[in-house]
């Protein structure tokens, strides 16, 4: 009888359950160099594959001479589209209902596109083979400007779609058109604009960027020719989906495919999709009857796998002269690159862009998005946001600042006037989303108070005066953003991927000694699931978190799930974990009633066991109950203690937050310094406050990167600029500002433990806070909008364009 004398509070603390700042258990191996990543997988006889890639953005392949590569010592095979055609594998389906070339056939459509796969005994020989391969190209005119993609004389990119007038999302109106998608009430919105006192309209570019995880993408395929079993290790955020897709395209039965995502060094959306490298490692393993590894280098990662954003946005707001917003409208040109490989739920080709009325009570709204092809890499992933939410929040948060400027009103005051009020929850937006819970005015008030907003504005005004008087060359910007995220894809009524509903799962098995293993359908890429899911289960089952192993990423053992992205793990798999824990508890109660010889209704739950109501000493701990589950059960009950739960949430969760950025700009150099960044987040019930803080720090750092420096750009012939870390901005500790975090805690009413997602929030809210700060600094000098990334040189050029520098 171990814990009889301890108080409930003492026992509760020992569980390290929900709310505990539990140290990350995975860090024991990560910090000692004992993580196990795809590149650590080394199998006997393993071969290496590497791609020969196109130097051109748009060209016809006239001839490929395999012989020169095959002569390189160690090279065993050179695979081209010709080899894939008989297998019907030269194209693969994308998550967005398009097809993507696995290896280019006849034409290449973006620089660094995969042209041939060279398999060799080691990486070096494969790389030499790539060098030696002779490919003859005929250059074609490239299309790089999405806004010109639908011109009559725009070059035809996708020969394979010739004559195809229907796409996956409706009719196609042009050879480079993918879809037009809209939401909201167009006529009612027009009416609002007609009767408005004030309207604003601005073109806001959200440039092409890349998630750039520290670990690049890769896979190891091992096709056993004797058993017909395929094992595939890979950097997969959604291993089960990969297994299903692999089964569908290869015709290998799904039970003969085992997909394993080992440790992953960051995902950020980059590892959601299926890439040619994964497919080719499988094909090569089948052909050569040996395991084959493929690992990207940094330049391949930045230039070919999964870009993000590239939205050309027009934002419009209609308001009364008092500053009440009465309508919002947005049109988008979406640059999808050469293939539509966006990773969104099937019904939403523009993801959740229609969350773009943001945190405000806007009665009417309309948005439309046109997706087009260009000669750039495919992708369109949700880089740290739930499917285009960063774009949506950028739209509304820049628009609110522009409206404040037009009304000559303070941006905080304008926001306060329009925030959704606590009593309006559950709140249905003009686009039909049902926001689950929130107290926005409190979050806003807390933020303004924490930073002494009034004083900041006085300071800013003083700096404007000094600048105008010629006594200073420094200006200051205060950037606010109030964001609402929509995470937890998702309710099956809204979301599926390739026809599979977006539920998630948890299976828990309690061993006789009260230790347990739980497996989930999601897959951590660094978020700390091994720590936090054990905390949920600890609170629910009364078993200490330390006694619960969390395992993810092996399709042979984990229950089916849709993977980790869009901050869905907590809202969906976290809910499944809580419910699986409750099922364990339910059986435990029946066992306890047998052990204590009372009716189960006479028992009450007390932290880590059941006690007879009113007799706290007459109790059985979960540990004791677990033991009994294997040797002393009520008559007729099946032995063992395990449960599984598949959870289809009734709704998304809507985390939110108020962010404020203060920065100073030296006008003559464009050099800025971030004086302060305050971030208040509300993610409902907080499972692990320390992990949440880490998530916020990481997400803000990525927001800083995107707003202030990241860019995947192209020159006029389609050469990618920004394909290495010499050019692509990945902030280090040197550049990264200091973050101040804060929170409120309004639980989600429909989530079993009230938790919402949080991982993406800081990115979503952070980008507009930075951009608003830069733009705000120029407001008093006639500035209206300057585009991201706000690099020193872009800021300097903007100051010059406003006549602030002679
Ligand atoms: N949490 C807590 N509480 C609450 C919530 C949450 O605690 N309330 C925690 C959890 O548990 C975990 C985290 O936090 O751990 C997170 O969560 P979430 O929000 O749910 O999310 P998830 O799903 O898990 O994840 C995802 C995310 C994303 S999406 C991203 S990008 C990013 C983030 O996550 N990524 C990453 N974060 C991170 N981190 C790291 N480290 N790494 C990575 O990679 Mo996407 O869509 O994919 O783009």
Give, as one character, the DSSP assignment of residue 355. Answer: G
pLDDT (average), residues 512-530: 98
> Is 296 part of the annotated catalytic residue set?
no
97, 164 contact by CB (below 8 A)? no
Question: From the CB of 698, is ligand 1 less than 6 Å away?
Answer: yes
Whether 1 has a pLDDT exceeding 80, the answer reads no
- Catalytic one of 385, 506, 661, 683: 385
Please tell me the distance between residue 566's alpha carbon and the centre of ligand 1 in angstroms: 8
Tokens of 794: 């872009």
Of the pLDDT bands very low, low, confident and very high (cuts 50, 70, 90), residue 4 is low
Closest-CA residue to 710 (of 773, 764, 789): 789
Of the pLDDT bands very low, low, confident and very high (cuts 50, 70, 90), residue 6 is confident
Please tell me the distance between residue 297's alpha carbon and the centre of ligand 1 in angstroms: 25
Please tell me the distance between residue 654's alpha carbon and the centre of ligand 1 in angstroms: 14
Question: From the CB of 567, is ligand 1 less than 6 Å away?
Answer: yes
Whether 73 has a pLDDT exceeding 50, the answer reads yes
> Is 316 part of the annotated catalytic residue set?
no
Whether 486 has a pLDDT exceeding 90, the answer reads yes
d(CA 184, CA 470): 49
pLDDT digits (tens, 9 = 90+) for 657-708: 999 999 999 999 999 999 999 999 999 999 999 999 999 999 999 999 999 9
Question: From the CB of 770, is ligand 1 less than 6 Å away?
Answer: no
Name which residue sits closest to atom 35 of ligand 1, judged by CA: 268
Closest-CA residue to 708 (of 774, 776, 798): 774
- What number of residues does the chain have? 806
pLDDT digits (tens, 9 = 90+) for 350-388: 999 999 999 999 999 999 999 999 999 999 999 999 999
Radius of gyration of the chain (CA): 28
> Is 760 part of the annotated catalytic residue set?
yes
Give the position, in ligand 1's atom list, of the atom nearest the Cα of 533. Answer: 11
Write down the mean pLDDT value for the chain.
Answer: 97
pLDDT (average), residues 159-166: 96
Give the position, in ligand 1's atom list, of the atom nearest the Cα of 526. Answer: 41
Indicate the range of 8-12, 152-156, 516-520 predicted with least confidence: 8-12
Whether 3 has a pLDDT exceeding 60, the answer reads no
What pLDDT score does 71 carry? 98
3-state secondary structure 69-120: HHCCCCEEEEEEHHHHHHHCCCEEECCCCCEEECCCCCEECCCCCEEEEEEE
Question: From the CB of 384, is ligand 1 less than 6 Å away?
Answer: yes
Q: Outline where DSSP puts E strands in 275-375.
A: 292-295, 307-319, 325-335, 364-372
Taken in order 438, 441, 446, 451, the sign of the CA dihedral is positive
ipTM confidence score: 0.99
Question: From the CB of 382, is ligand 1 less than 6 Å away?
Answer: yes
Name which residue sits closest to atom 33 of ligand 1, judged by CA: 759
Residue 73 CB neighbours (<10 A): 9
Whether 573 has a pLDDT exceeding 70, the answer reads yes
d(CA 316, CA 329): 5
Instruction: Decide: helix, strand or coil at residue 736.
Output: coil
pLDDT digits (tens, 9 = 90+) for 301-339: 999 999 999 999 999 999 999 999 999 999 999 999 999
Question: From the CB of 701, is ligand 1 less than 6 Å away?
Answer: no
Whether 496 has a pLDDT exceeding 60, the answer reads yes
Please tell me the distance between residue 693's alpha carbon and the centre of ligand 1 in angstroms: 11
pLDDT digits (tens, 9 = 90+) for 105-123: 999 999 999 999 999 999 9
> Is 20 part of the annotated catalytic residue set?
no
pLDDT (average), residues 452-460: 98
Instruction: Give the containing element (helix H, strand E) for 184.
Output: strand 177-184
Whether 298 has a pLDDT exceeding 50, the answer reads yes
pLDDT digits (tens, 9 = 90+) for 589-637: 999 999 999 999 999 999 999 999 999 999 999 999 999 999 999 999 9
Question: From the CB of 683, is ligand 1 less than 6 Å away?
Answer: yes
What share of the chain in percent tops pLDDT 90? Answer: 96
Question: From the CB of 92, is ligand 1 less than 6 Å away?
Answer: no
* Torsion of Cα atoms, 139 then 140 then 146 then 147, to 10°: 130
Of the pLDDT bands very low, low, confident and very high (cuts 50, 70, 90), residue 81 is very high
d(CA 610, CA 630): 18
The model's pTM is: 0.98
What share of the chain in percent tops pLDDT 70? Answer: 100
Give the position, in ligand 1's atom list, of the atom nearest the Cα of 758. Answer: 19
């Amino acid at each position: 009888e171990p814990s009889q004398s301890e108080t409930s509070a003492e026992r509760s603390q020992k569980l390290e359950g929900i709310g505990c700042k539990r140290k990350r258990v995975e860090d024991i191996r990560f910090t000692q160099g004992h993580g196990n990543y795809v590149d650590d997988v080394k199998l006997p006889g393993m071969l290496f594959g590497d791609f020969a890639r196109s130097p051109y953005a748009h060209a016809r392949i006239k001839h490929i001479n395999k012989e020169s590569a095959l002569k390189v010592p160690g090279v065993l095979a050179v695979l081209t589209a010709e080899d894939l055609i008989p297998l019907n594998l030269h194209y693969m389906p994308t998550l967005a209902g398009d097809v993507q070339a696995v290896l280019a056939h006849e034409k290449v459509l973006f620089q660094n596109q995969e042209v041939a796969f060279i398999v060799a005994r080691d990486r070096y020989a494969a790389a030499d083979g790539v060098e030696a391969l002779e490919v003859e190209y005929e250059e074609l005119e490239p299309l790089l400007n999405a806004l010109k993609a639908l011109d009559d004389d725009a070059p035809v990119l996708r020969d394979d779609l010739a004559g195809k007038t229907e796409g996956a999302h409706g009719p196609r109106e042009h050879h480079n058109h993918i879809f037009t998608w809209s939401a909201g009430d167009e006529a009612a919105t027009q009416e609002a604009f007609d009767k408005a006192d004030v309207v604003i309209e601005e073109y806001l570019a959200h440039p092409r960027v890349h998630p750039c995880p520290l670990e690049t993408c890769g896979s190891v395929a091992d096709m056993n020719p004797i058993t017909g079993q395929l094992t595939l290790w890979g950097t997969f955020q959604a291993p089960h989906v990969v297994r299903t897709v692999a089964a569908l395209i290869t015709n290998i039965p799904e039970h003969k495919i085992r997909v394993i995502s080992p440790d992953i060094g960051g995902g950020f959306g980059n590892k959601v999709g299926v890439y040619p490298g994964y497919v080719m490692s499988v094909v090569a393993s089948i052909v050569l009857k040996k395991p084959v590894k493929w690992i990207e280098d940094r330049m391949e990662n930045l230039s070919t796998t999964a870009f993000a954003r590239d939205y050309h946005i027009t934002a419009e707001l209609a308001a009364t002269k008092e500053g009440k917003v009465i309508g919002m409208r947005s049109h988008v040109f979406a640059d999808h690159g050469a293939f539509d490989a966006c990773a969104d739920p099937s019904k939403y080709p523009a993801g959740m862009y229609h969350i773009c009325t943001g945190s405000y009570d806007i009665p009417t709204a309309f948005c439309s998005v046109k997706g087009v092809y260009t000669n750039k890499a495919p992708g369109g992933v949700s880089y740290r946001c739930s499917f285009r939410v960063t774009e949506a929040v950028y739209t509304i948060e820049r628009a609110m600042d522009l409206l404040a400027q037009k009304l000559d009103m303070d941006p905080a005051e304008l926001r306060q006037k329009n925030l959704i009020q606590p009593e309006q929850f559950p709140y249905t937006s003009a686009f039909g989303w049902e926001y689950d819970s929130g107290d926005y005015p409190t979050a806003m008030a807390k933020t303004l108070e924490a930073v002494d907003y009034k004083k900041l504005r006085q300071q800013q005004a003083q700096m404007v005066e000094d600048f105008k008087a010629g006594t200073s060359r420094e200006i200051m910007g205060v950037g606010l953003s109030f964001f609402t995220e929509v995470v937890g894809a998702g309710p099956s009524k809204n979301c599926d991927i390739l026809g599979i509903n977006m539920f998630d799962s948890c299976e828990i098995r309690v061993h006789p000694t009260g230790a347990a293993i739980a497996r989930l359908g999601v897959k951590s890429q660094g978020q700390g699931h091994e720590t936090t899911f054990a905390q949920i289960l600890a609170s629910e089952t009364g078993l200490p978190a330390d006694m619960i192993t969390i395992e993810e990423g092996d399709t042979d053992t984990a229950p089916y799930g849709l993977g980790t992205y869009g901050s869905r793990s907590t809202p969906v798999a976290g809910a499944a974990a809580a419910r699986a824990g409750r099922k364990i508890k339910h059986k435990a109660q029946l066992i306890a009633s047998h052990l204590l010889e009372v009716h189960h209704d006479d028992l009450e739950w007390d932290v880590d066991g059941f006690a007879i109501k009113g007799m706290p000493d007459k109790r059985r701990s979960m540990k004791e109950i677990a033991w009994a589950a294997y040797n002393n059960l009520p008559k007729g009950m099946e032995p063992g203690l395990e449960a599984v739960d598949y959870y289809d949430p009734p709704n998304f969760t809507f985390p939110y937050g108020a962010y404020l950025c203060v920065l100073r700009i030296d006008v003559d150099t464009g050099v800025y310094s971030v004086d302060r960044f305050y971030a208040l987040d509300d993610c409902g019930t907080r499972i692990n406050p320390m992990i949440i803080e880490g998530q916020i720090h990481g997400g803000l750092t990525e927001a800083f990167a995107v707003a202030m420096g990241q860019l995947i750009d192209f020159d006029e012939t389609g050469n990618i600029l920004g394909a290495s870390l010499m050019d692509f901005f990945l902030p280090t500790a040197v550049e990264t500002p200091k973050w101040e975090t804060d929170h409120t805690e309004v639980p989600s009413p429909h989530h079993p433990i009230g938790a919402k997602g949080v991982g993406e929030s800081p990115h979503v809210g952070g980008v507009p806070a930075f951009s608003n700060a830069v733009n705000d600094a120029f407001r008093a000098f006639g500035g209206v909008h300057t585009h991201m990334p706000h690099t020193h040189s872009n800021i300097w050029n903007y100051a010059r364009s406003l006549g602030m520098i002679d």
